[in-house]
Amino acid sequence: MTRAVPALLASILVLSLPAMAMAGVTPASDATTEVAVEESTTHGLVEVDGTTNRLTLDPDVRSSYVEAGPDMGASLAGHDDALRADAVLFSLESAFDELEETERAAAIETARERIDDRIDALERRERAAVREHADGEITDERLLSTLVGNHNDAEGLDATLAELEGYAARTSGYDAAEIGDTRATLEVFRTDLRETLDDDVHGEPVTDRRAITLESSQNGVSLATIEGDHYVRETTRFDNRDREQPDGIGDVGNAIDRFEEELYPWTARNLVGTTVFSEARTAQLYSTQMSTPQGDLTAYLDGGTGNVYHEVQRLALSELPSTPADRTWTNDSLELSIERSPVNGPIEVTVTDVEIDEPVDASVLVDGDERATTGDDGSLWIVPPDGGAEITAEADGERVDASVGSWRG
């Protein structure tokens, strides 16, 4: 396959697919609201009928709510990698015009390798912080600050690599594809959710803090939140990334087959719009961006393990399949009911007045902390911590309590 110099990844194959459905239209027959779930053998990828499979962590998970805001302490995380990369580029800039062509190629490759070392340092820092959090050695806020710090450093490193590509374009005999491959490895740190958290941290103080469900284990980290009318979740499995193993995928064509036939078959059967598949072959990393009537999936496949290393899902709450909890909770005045979505996903809490059967604008607390109010329609979407939560609704001096356990479907 011909490999062109990319804008973001090493090689991009865009497959124009016929529009099978539009957002808000009932999905194809596979998109049923029956939610059957079973554990996959592909290291954390849980198979679900009626929605996109989801990457999860091992069962031994530390899970909690944390609120992002200007006092979160992101300044505690190190941010020196981008500065080091700028120093590398400065050294190249100062000598570039004086170098011979062969020397230019060698200097560019040296700079790329040094930036690759900085990326390895980001990964080590993130893994260490996640494992310390899973062991209870650091706070939720400290882990989030590290993730946000890595996002910012990755932004700087990516900008430096983009400039390096400009030098490569002026140098005959240097294959710039490997720079694109190096940029691809930064994408797991440069996510929209982390950028949103960065805005929360460095923005003006706000009354309504963004609630993040944070999960960590010895093998990975997951963040989830509600953004408007969407559920957003990103998960990274460190144990699914191994560049020391030979690349068993080989090319983007084989990656497409694995994505569509083995990892995300429901998604592949319910595609809308344009699907993008990419490869960063020297980094042994393959990615896809797929869209269904329920929302968007971005996934990164490691060539060494053949498993999903990083996944981001952005799903419309109104399109998610859901099932009611096996009971409702009531007192003399209020009734609380819950709709659950698959794989410990978001839940919809609805509060009604028992006597008149009308929705109630109630405050909703999760494990004793207030999240938000249900509003005039009496409903609120929240993302409970893994393992379940105590849900409380309060209105007009009345309260009703519910207990929601962990579930897979």
pLDDT tens, residue by residue, 288-339: 999 999 999 999 999 999 999 999 999 999 999 999 988 899 998 999 999 9
Torsions phi, psi for 117 (to 5 deg):
-60, -40
What's the pLDDT score for residue 4? Answer: 33
What's the pLDDT score for residue 104? Answer: 87
How many other β-carbons are positioned within 10 Å of the β-carbon of residue 147? 26
Q: What is the pTM of this model?
A: 0.84
Please give the Cα distance from 27 to 14 (Å, whole number).
Answer: 23
Q: Which of 169-173, 233-237, 254-258 has the lowest mean pLDDT?
A: 169-173
Say if residues 238 and 268 touch (Cβ distance below 8 Å): no
Strand, coil or helix: 255: helix
Higher-confidence residue: 355 or 80? 355
Mean of the per-residue pLDDT values of the chain: 83
What's the pLDDT score for residue 84? Answer: 61
Please give the Cα distance from 254 to 241 (Å, whole number).
Answer: 18
Strand, coil or helix: 137: coil
Strand, coil or helix: 370: strand
Amino acid at 263: L
Is the predicted pLDDT of residue 379 greater than 50, yes or no? Answer: yes
Tokens of 81: 């990698």
What's the pLDDT score for residue 203? Answer: 65
What's the pLDDT score for residue 89? Answer: 73
Tokens of 135: 């062991």
H/E element holding 169? helix 140-169
Please give the Cα distance from 405 to 387 (Å, whole number).
Answer: 6
What's the pLDDT score for residue 317? Answer: 96
Q: What is the CA radius of gyration of the chain?
A: 23
Average pLDDT over residues 51-76: 78
Say if residues 220 and 237 touch (Cβ distance below 8 Å): yes
Is the predicted pLDDT of residue 87 greater than 80, yes or no? Answer: no
**For the chain, percent of residues with pLDDT exceeding 90:** 59
DSSP string, 277-292: EEEEGGGTEEEEEEEE
Question: pLDDT band for position 75 (50/70/90)?
Answer: very low
Say if residues 193 and 18 touch (Cβ distance below 8 Å): no
Tokens of 351: 């509060």
What's the pLDDT score for residue 86? Answer: 66
Say if residues 153 and 83 touch (Cβ distance below 8 Å): no
Average pLDDT over residues 69-78: 54
